[in-house]
């Protein structure tokens, strides 16, 4: 069947575009309801694409051949591309190319089309088939940690990863999100958030909890269930909560449907639902750190994303915990607005950001070695350098008041620090010798900053059909 569709969607470069457009309108049911033609040469090599957007841009449409109108810089997938790379190709298509292109051709080594991947169906294999059948598990409990980023945050966007190698150093902390999914005997569907029952049919709640609704829509669940969500930290506080929640629900539902869990697949699916389907701007690191747990060394480039654990002794971890003080400030906020501004700037000034990324990568490597060598003072000094550079990358992360407070803290003896998350509100992380901490705490309390201590955890996402 797919071979017949591919053949119908391929057109010679000398064919008239008006004739092509008439034909692909009737074939749109096979291409995510977005008409697209694939233009080939005499040997069958795919050399371009043609969409309605290309057609409507033209003034004279009657006698033009496809080769004069087609998009020669079209996005395609190789047969051996990973799920992560395919996802990022779709994302690139939506952001940089044509948001109406939702079908990407799969090409062989000779650039001939061997398959088509529709975004609508991508990552949904077997979900609809399984949703109408008996679930594999009737009860699932998921626990996932929040994260804090030491270095590299703000550079983990797909459009930077496609151009440069990015390094992230982050760790999971002992603040968790807990979810429970119960399959019910009835067809009723319930949502509980921090003990409060949420009316699933309410349009107001659909706007307020749109990410959760997007996840549930993705799975198109036909059976009855109750989903309970409890937080051990404030939402919108710079600890990667929304991404952790998405991973938790996706992994829980995958366990319900399929029993087996593939963490890389869960992360890719969670990223797609949050970043693309829900249009919540942000990067990749949060999904990986919360999922795998511990001190994570994350490498990202155009080929894929890899995570390795940094093994630190209990003594080193204890020393880090003694030196780090966290101060809660501001109200919870939507980081997506701040991140979308940054993403826009990256698209406009890629060369400028590429130079900053190289500097950030160097600092990230230095922080890694400072951690391994138990050099907490050097770690703090590097955190300071990291913070100054991060403000250049994203000017919206701080303001005049916060900058003045931070300068005062450095004068009081702190080695360094940074704001966790996208900015505006959340946590200020300060690295200071114990002898200076009382004075720093006393000073910041005058401005409403509340001191907290955090501990690191080696645990990532935990999924069980028993109470955790």
Range among 51-55, 220-224, 407-411 rated most confident: 407-411
Q: Is the pLDDT of residue 124 over 80?
A: yes
Q: Is the pLDDT of residue 148 over 70?
A: yes
Cα 103 versus chain centre, distance: 21
Which CATH code of 2.20.28.10, 2.30.40.10, 3.10.580.10, 3.30.9.10 fits the domain covering 2-81+96-118?
A: 3.10.580.10
What is the pLDDT of the chain when averaged over all its residues?
Answer: 88
Residue written as token pair 């000017």: 395
pLDDT at site 130: 57
Cβ proximity of 227 and 248 under 8 Å = no
Mean pLDDT across 71-79: 90
The structure tokens listed for 82 are 């990973």
The helix or strand, by DSSP H or E, that contains position 258, with its residue range, turns out to be: helix 241-258
pLDDT at site 212: 95
The pLDDT-based confidence of 426 (bands split at 50, 70, 90) is confident
Range among 39-48, 62-71, 335-344 rated most confident: 39-48
The structure tokens listed for 449 are 């900053």
Mean pLDDT across 49-67: 80
Query: Distance between the two ends of the chain, CA-based, in angstroms?
Result: 47
Per residue in 225-266, pLDDT tens? 999 999 998 877 889 999 999 999 999 999 999 998 999 999
Listed residue (144, 146, 136) closest to 254, CA to CA: 136
Kindly state the percentage of the chain with pLDDT values over 90: 62
Mean pLDDT across 25-31: 91
pLDDT at site 154: 82
Kindly state the percentage of the chain with pLDDT values over 70: 90
Cβ proximity of 460 and 293 under 8 Å = yes
pLDDT at site 222: 86
Cα 414 versus chain centre, distance: 32
Rounded CA gap, 440 and 407, in Å?
A: 12
The pLDDT-based confidence of 214 (bands split at 50, 70, 90) is very high
CATH code for the part of the protein at 314-452: 3.30.70.890
- Give the count of beta carbons closer than 10 Å to the beta carbon of residue 60: 6
- Give the count of beta carbons closer than 10 Å to the beta carbon of residue 51: 24
- Domain borders along the chain are 2-81+96-118, 127-311+458-464, 314-452
Mean pLDDT across 426-436: 94
Q: C-alpha angle 172/197/199, rounded to 5°?
A: 115
Per residue in 388-425, pLDDT tens? 988 887 777 778 888 899 999 999 999 999 988 655 66
Architecture of domain 127-311+458-464: 2-Layer Sandwich (3.30)
The pLDDT-based confidence of 347 (bands split at 50, 70, 90) is low
pLDDT at site 205: 85
């Amino acid at each position: 069947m797919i071979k017949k569709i591919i053949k119908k969607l391929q057109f010679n470069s000398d064919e008239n575009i008006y004739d092509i457009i008439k034909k692909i309108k009737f074939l749109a049911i096979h291409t995510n309801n977005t008409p697209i033609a694939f233009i080939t040469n005499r040997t069958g090599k795919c050399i371009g694409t043609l969409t309605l957007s290309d057609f409507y841009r033209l003034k004279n449409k009657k006698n033009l051949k496809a080769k004069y109108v087609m998009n020669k810089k079209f996005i395609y997938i190789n047969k051996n591309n990973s799920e992560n790379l395919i996802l990022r190709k779709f994302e690139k298509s939506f952001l940089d190319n044509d948001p109406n292109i939702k079908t990407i051709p799969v090409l062989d080594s000779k650039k001939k089309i061997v398959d088509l991947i529709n975004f609508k169906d991508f990552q949904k294999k077997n979900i609809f088939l399984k949703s109408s059948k008996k679930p594999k598990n009737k009860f699932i409990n998921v626990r996932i940690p929040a994260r804090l980023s030491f270095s590299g945050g703000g550079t983990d966007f797909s459009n930077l990863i496609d151009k440069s190698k990015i390094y992230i150093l982050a760790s999971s902390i002992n603040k968790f999100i807990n979810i429970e999914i119960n399959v019910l005997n009835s067809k009723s569907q319930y949502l509980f958030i921090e003990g409060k029952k949420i009316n699933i049919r309410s349009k107001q709640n659909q706007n307020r909890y749109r990410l959760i609704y997007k996840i549930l829509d993705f799975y198109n669940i036909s059976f009855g269930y109750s989903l309970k969500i409890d937080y051990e930290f404030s939402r919108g506080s710079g600890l990667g909560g929304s991404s952790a929640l998405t991973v938790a629900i996706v992994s829980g539902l995958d366990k319900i449907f399929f029993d087996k869990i593939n963490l890389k697949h869960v992360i890719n699916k969670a990223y797609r639902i949050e970043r693309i389907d829900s249009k919540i701007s942000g990067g990749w690191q949060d999904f990986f750190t919360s999922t795998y747990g511990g001190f994570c060394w994350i490498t990202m480039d155009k080929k894929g994303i890899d995570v390795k654990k940094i093994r630190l002794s209990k003594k080193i971890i204890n020393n880090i915990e003694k030196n780090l003080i966290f101060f809660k400030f501001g109200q919870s906020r939507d980081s997506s607005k701040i991140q979308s501004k940054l993403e826009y700037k990256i698209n406009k000034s890629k060369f400028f950001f590429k130079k900053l990324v190289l500097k950030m990568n160097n600092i990230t490597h230095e922080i890694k070695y400072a951690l391994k060598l138990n050099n907490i003072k050097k770690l703090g000094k590097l955190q300071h350098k990291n913070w100054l550079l991060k403000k250049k990358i994203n000017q919206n992360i701080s303001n005049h008041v916060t900058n003045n407070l931070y300068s005062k803290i450095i004068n009081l003896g702190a080695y360094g620090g940074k704001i966790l998350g996208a900015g505006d509100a959340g946590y200020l992380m300060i690295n200071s010798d114990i002898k200076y901490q009382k004075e720093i705490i006393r000073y910041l309390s005058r401005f409403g900053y509340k001191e907290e201590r955090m501990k690191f955890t080696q645990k990532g996402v935990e999924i069980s059909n028993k109470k955790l």
